[in-house]
Amino acid sequence: MPGLDDQFLDKENFYLAFKKISFYIRQLNEWYDPILLAEYEATLPKRIHDLIESLKIGQYLPRPIEPLPFPKKSRSNGTKRIRPYYNIHFDDQLVWMALVNIIAEHVENEMPDWNYGNRLYRPVWFENESGTKERKVLKKGSFKNTSRYVYRKWGQSWPLYKRHIALTIKTIAKTSKFKKTDIDDEKELAIFEQAEITGFKGVRYLKKEFWKVGEYPKLVWTGLDFETFFPSIDSQKILENIESCLIREDGTKRDDVTLILQTMRRMLSFPLNITGWNEKDLQNKAFFNLQDFVNYNGIPTGLVVGGFLANAAVIDLDRAVDKYINENREVAVFKYVDDHVVISQSAEALLTFLNFYHNKINELNHTLNFQSSKIEPANAIKYDKNKGFTTNRGYRKYIELDVEFPSPLMTNTLKKVSHINDIDFDLLDEDDIDNLEVDLKHLLITDFPATEIRKDTKMSFASSRLCRLAMEIKPNFNAVDPNYESNKENVYSIYKGLYNNEKNLPKEKEALEVIKSRIREAAAIEFIIQRFSAEVRVVQMRHEAIFKLLLKALKENPDKVKLWKRCIEFCFHTGYPGLEKILDLIKKCEIHPRSIAYLTAYCITNIQVRLEMAFQEIDFDQTLFWKRYCSSEFITNTLNLQIKRYSTPSNNYPFYRQSEINFLSSRKFVVDQLGIFFSSTAAQRLMPFQKKLEGVVYSFSKKKSKVVQDLYSVTLLWYYLSRITWKGRDDFFLKYGNSVDLNSPLAWSILSLSPRLISETKLQEVISFITEINGSKIDYHSEMLNLIKSCGYTYDLFYESKYGDSKIFEKYIHYYATLENIFARNENDFIGLDRWLNNTVAQSDNKYWLDPRLTEWSLLEIIRQIGNLLIQANETHKDVFSGISGKNYHYLHPANYLIPKQWSDISHHNWATWKKLVIDHPITLAPESEFIHDHRYFPITTNWRSTVNIFMGNKEIPSVLGLSILLIKLLSKSFNWPSAANKINFIDQLYSNAYMTIEKEALSSDLRILLDAIFSKVDFGDIFYQHDFIKLGDGSKIKGLQDYVLFLEKIQIRLENAQWNVVNREPRQLKYIDIDDLNKSKTTFFNTL
């Protein structure tokens, strides 16, 4: 196993780190530049290489952090304030995340189980214990996992924190007399029973034997809060505490963390870039409260891993508290970030503990301080930084906690929140929607004690759920349906009016009937338009009531940035015309003028991102009517925004200017693409709301933006082509993609997205790179390698030209020798697998009979035969799967596998004739010299682009995964690939597409569960490194191709038992679908298979 320093410098660690920080940033909970992030992502291989090289030699230094004017509510006396926040370079975010990935396992395990806030995410699941059927064992995955999450999700942290408090009140009060029947909340009972299964590991508070024996009908409590927690943290404490955690199992210091500690020491300096700020503002305690203008002391808000570092900074303090709890067993401490709840069996024990805590802080973390104004309950306990905690007269009545009804700490609000969170909004009827709307409005505007639910948590949750609920407030489409029984009279009335206005009606019966039919259709359309408009007005009135409430919440809480995002989401989901009101409200809020600029930029960026999403919604054919309507309205409202109204001299910040440029660029992109759509769509096919949008688009297309100078720079081209999916994408690529400058690394990324669309002129430029290559010309960290050699990408390029523009093919194919041989094959006897699939799909299209060639059994047969051929090749030529044999059989691409011409016979086969055919005429491998490599079939990061298998384990595992990807392609009847910026992003999309295929296609339970297991991410990270098998369950593993083929054969046998020939020997396939099997664990399924 590599040492920790080596694991840190592993490039795969940096890819996983980027996946986490990019997802975190894209949540748009703070301002960022989405186009800059996309460019960074596209050049990630080069950036990671340069970062690692710089880190290796100890020359990497953090970039200066830039103060940003994050909003904060003004004081009651009107004093304007700014919440300190910093813009941190992507390089530093990436290095920090890569560091945390490696040290998390050692540091997180030293944090106490009563610390719930900013805990890192790790996959957790239950499995049956080996040798048992019932007993469950809790399994924990690695912190360095392939998940996109940095921290535990809200549902895994805050609700658990509150429920553990509620359960602990019962166990600490009743101790030995506590019974499970004392728990009256179903979710709390489930949490308790889950803890029982694990022997209360990690939740000792719930174990009644833990507490000092006694019975306490009244407990006491207090709530504490650190003052300015992040800025007050001593960075040296972070380093000391982390170093104390990085030890070996025997307690000795590690000798493989020198580079990690040196890097962290440099990274904790946080140099400042204060350009645009005066020292007076930076020193102002109401703003940034900076005394040092060279380096920032503390943890800057804006650092993604800041929450983890804050937890690490107090590990020594937490250890002391934890020891106190274990020794005294009469005080329970709960911590969520900097908020504390302390519960005790007696007032004396509580005060003793508080002063112990105070003394330990002065001893170990003297820069920390409790905020006396936030100590709860008010009027009970006083705090002085020097003297510690004392009590006020009569304090006991304030701190007492009724065990049965612990009102300050009750979870009633949490229960309401949890109930709402569990609701399936798609299944709500009208009454449910009305009741839920009332509950959410109440939750949004009502103040609750902070000990019951944090205000920001409450508002964020209520606003997000209101946005989701608003999507279910739709028109009554029965009232719009002209064929609905209750509407027929109104439709007929319109018909009569139109008919009576018709002049020169023909007397011939047939001609008259034609006109009547046209008038009936016109009447139906007129009815739909009238009723739909009326229904929309009703819906908008309800939306308006919700929107006004959201605006009220915004005005009262302008510093809650997520609320602004939710309001924009509301407009996006409903089409409500509220964007101008949102932007207008910013200037009216009681916040600092600089924060007004920040909020405006933040909202503009949110609108930009939602505009791009709305464009995709209306372009997608499967989008439902109401969603299409709402998206059209949102685009109309966005195009009508006078963005310059919000630009003032006080907004002249780089982040604001960039937000405005990005918005205008995306707005013009959407206008251009919609203009093309409307110009190619017959007017009579457009709905009225689409015609309204068409008018706005037409008006806009006549205007020229002075801000957007280089609309389709290579960066913007990459952003739109890689981030947005729309029907005109190919035309956009043909028009602009082929104009990119090959000297830009982004150009190769763009061309790799759609190699089949590369023009002759651009291909000539690419060819010149091949002929001029001298070693230094190749950029191994760009996508250049995709297009300068024979591989899957260039195969796509020439496949398209050979069967399309043959002139390009004939002129340039000789530059790619292997591809030239492939395309020169004689297809009289055999055809490539990809060609066979495309031809067979075309032949079977619109056929009334089942074509057995495309059934699940036949596609499994293809993979089974290929698997056996590879096994035979490995027996003949040793180590073909590693590539060190010099043979190319481990390369994977459909063109490497040849289908006999008999498989293309379109005769009407039954099962018997078809099976005989595929056995008598088996698949064969192409000549080994004609094998081409396509890294897209190897979703393993360590093997990416490598023609030698450097997999740290069983060399056959990559081929098993590759054949599974090939099987997914066959099942989906398509060899299209997702657009992606880098390998980790591509692999994620590939796995997502695999799951979509599994869900979409009519597969047997057997194959569905097999593929689910192979593409499971439970042990995803382990597969990439040292495992010798793919884990399907206890005792069930795929150790290589032999096992894989065996599983496929078993599934085929089950399918064969459900094959029938009906009338005229028509083949039919029944598929085994077992709901119980789908609900069982993978272990149970594979043991029975």
Answer with the one of 824, 852, 883 that is the final residue of a domain. Answer: 824
In a domain, 494, yes or no: no
pLDDT at residue 301, rounded to an integer: 96
Cβ-contact 381, 395 below 8 angstroms: yes
In a domain, 528, yes or no: no
Other CB atoms within a 10 A radius of the CB of residue 84 amount to 22
Cα(318)–Cα(241) distance, integer angstroms: 11
Q: What does the buried/exposed string (b/e) look like for 1005-1026 if buried means 16 or more CB atoms within 10 Å of the residue's CB?
A: bbbbbbbbbbbbebbbbebbbe
Please give the structure tokens belonging to residue 945: 């682009």
pLDDT at residue 390, rounded to an integer: 93
In a domain, 832, yes or no: yes
Q: Which contiguous run of DSSP H or E holds residue 580?
A: helix 579-588
Cα(157)–Cα(335) distance, integer angstroms: 11
Whether the pLDDT of residue 225 is over 90: the answer is yes
pLDDT in tens, 500-543: 998 888 888 899 999 999 999 999 989 999 999 999 999 999 99
Cβ-contact 369, 227 below 8 angstroms: yes
Cβ-contact 754, 786 below 8 angstroms: no
Same-domain pairing of 648 and 751:
no
pLDDT at residue 945, rounded to an integer: 56
Whether the pLDDT of residue 848 is over 80: the answer is no
pLDDT at residue 598, rounded to an integer: 95
pLDDT at residue 869, rounded to an integer: 94
pLDDT at residue 487, rounded to an integer: 93
In a domain, 39, yes or no: no
Whether the pLDDT of residue 1023 is over 50: the answer is no
pLDDT at residue 1058, rounded to an integer: 87
Cβ-contact 475, 469 below 8 angstroms: no
Cβ-contact 176, 213 below 8 angstroms: yes
Residue of higher predicted confidence among 226 and 849? 226
Provide the β-strand partners of residue 342. 222, 333
Cα(429)–Cα(450) distance, integer angstroms: 33
The number of CA neighbours under 13 Å toward the Cβ of 207 is 14
388-391 and 400-402 strand pairing: unpaired
Q: Which contiguous run of DSSP H or E holds residue 511?
A: helix 509-556
Cβ-contact 1015, 995 below 8 angstroms: yes
Cβ-contact 944, 984 below 8 angstroms: no
| DSSP classification of residue 219 | E
Cα(713)–Cα(505) distance, integer angstroms: 60
Cα(1057)–Cα(82) distance, integer angstroms: 71
% of the chain exceeding 70 in pLDDT: 91
Provide the β-strand partners of residue 331. 344
Closest CA to 85 of 561, 569, 585, 568: 561
Whether the pLDDT of residue 1085 is over 50: the answer is no
pLDDT in tens, 258-311: 999 999 999 999 999 999 899 999 999 999 999 899 999 999 999 999 999 999
Please give the structure tokens belonging to residue 783: 């996508």
pLDDT in tens, 532-555: 999 999 999 999 999 999 999 999
In a domain, 268, yes or no: no
Closest CA to 865 of 835, 897, 839, 836: 897
**pTM for this structure?**
0.90
Q: Where are the beta strands (DSSP E) in 664-784?
A: none
Same-domain pairing of 938 and 916:
yes
Q: Cα separations (Å) of 710 from 144, 642, 659, 669?
A: 40, 21, 15, 12
Angle formed at CA 997 by CA 996 and CA 998, multiple of 5 degrees: 90
CA 504, 506, 512, 514 torsion: positive or negative?
negative
Provide the β-strand partners of residue 381. 391
Cα(748)–Cα(822) distance, integer angstroms: 25
Lowest mean pLDDT among 308-317, 322-331, 498-507, 1062-1071: 1062-1071
Q: Using N-to-C axis directions, what is the helix angle for 688-701 and 625-639, rounded to 10°? A: 30
pLDDT at residue 1020, rounded to an integer: 44
Number of domains in the chain: 4
Domain of 989, CATH number, reads: 1.10.510.10
Closest CA to 834 of 864, 862, 814: 862
pLDDT in tens, 468-480: 999 999 999 999 9
| DSSP classification of residue 927 | P
Same-domain pairing of 925 and 1022:
yes
Cα(924)–Cα(830) distance, integer angstroms: 9
Please give the structure tokens belonging to residue 1055: 């399918």
In a domain, 368, yes or no: no
> What is the three-state SS of 418-465?
HHHHHCCHHHCCHHHHHHHHHHHHHHHHCCCCCCCCCHHHHHHHHHHH
Q: What confidence category does residue 683 fall into, taking pLDDT thresholds of 50, 70 and 90?
A: low
Across 431-440, 602-611, 774-783, the highest mean pLDDT is recorded for: 602-611
Please give the structure tokens belonging to residue 716: 């913007």
Same-domain pairing of 700 and 593:
yes
DSSP H helices in 175-314: 186-197, 229-232, 235-245, 258-267, 279-283, 306-313
Provide the β-strand partners of residue 220. 344, 400
| DSSP classification of residue 151 | B
Cα(1041)–Cα(958) distance, integer angstroms: 10
Whether the pLDDT of residue 1033 is over 70: the answer is no
Please give the structure tokens belonging to residue 584: 């207008």
Mean pLDDT of 330-341: 96
218-225 and 339-344 strand pairing: antiparallel
Answer with the one of 448, 470, 492 that is the final residue of a domain. Answer: 470
pLDDT at residue 134, rounded to an integer: 57
In a domain, 1074, yes or no: yes
Same-domain pairing of 863 and 982:
yes
pLDDT at residue 822, rounded to an integer: 95
Please report, as a single letter, which amino acid is at residue 774. Answer: N
Same-domain pairing of 675 and 594:
yes
CA 227, 231, 236, 242 torsion: positive or negative?
positive
pLDDT in tens, 953-962: 567 888 888 8
Please give the structure tokens belonging to residue 849: 């009979």
Answer with the one of 781, 797, 824 that is the final residue of a domain. Answer: 824
Angle formed at CA 466 by CA 463 and CA 470, multiple of 5 degrees: 145
Cα(770)–Cα(786) distance, integer angstroms: 12
Cα(230)–Cα(338) distance, integer angstroms: 9
Mean pLDDT of 983-1005: 83
Return phi, psi of residue 329, to 5°: 55, 40
Same-domain pairing of 800 and 859:
no
| DSSP classification of residue 208 | G
pLDDT at residue 774, rounded to an integer: 60
Q: What confidence category does residue 776 fall into, taking pLDDT thresholds of 50, 70 and 90?
A: low
* Contact partners, residue 651, CB within 8 Å, separation at least 6: 596, 597, 600, 601
Q: What does the buried/exposed string (b/e) look like for 235-274 if buried means 16 or more CB atoms within 10 Å of the residue's CB?
A: bebbbebbbbbbeeeeeeebeebebbbebbeebbebebeb
How many residues would you count in the chain? Answer: 1089
Domain holding 607, by residue range, is 557-727
pLDDT in tens, 367-409: 999 999 999 998 899 999 999 999 988 888 899 999 998 988 8
Cα(105)–Cα(7) distance, integer angstroms: 13
Return phi, psi of residue 1042, to 5°: -60, -50
Same-domain pairing of 808 and 659:
no
Same-domain pairing of 780 and 868:
no
CA 480, 485, 486, 489 torsion: positive or negative?
positive
Place of tokens 């009633």: 412
Whether the pLDDT of residue 1078 is over 90: the answer is no
DSSP line for 355-391: HHHHHHHHHH-TT--B-GGG-BSTTTEEEETTTEEEE
Q: Cα separations (Å) of 246 from 151, 258, 512?
A: 21, 11, 90
The number of CA neighbours under 13 Å toward the Cβ of 412 is 8
Residue of higher predicted confidence among 148 and 36? 36
Cα(313)–Cα(386) distance, integer angstroms: 22
Same-domain pairing of 1054 and 966:
yes
pLDDT in tens, 86-138: 999 999 999 999 999 999 999 999 999 999 999 999 887 766 665 555 556 66
In a domain, 238, yes or no: no
Angle formed at CA 608 by CA 602 and CA 612, multiple of 5 degrees: 150
Cα(267)–Cα(95) distance, integer angstroms: 9
Residue of higher predicted confidence among 1075 and 787? 787
Maximum Cα interatomic distance, the chain, rounded to a whole number of Å:
106
Please report, as a single letter, which amino acid is at residue 813. Answer: I
Whether the pLDDT of residue 711 is over 70: the answer is no
Cα(14)–Cα(988) distance, integer angstroms: 15
Same-domain pairing of 801 and 941:
no
Please give the structure tokens belonging to residue 257: 């963390």
Same-domain pairing of 671 and 640:
yes
% of the chain exceeding 90 in pLDDT: 63
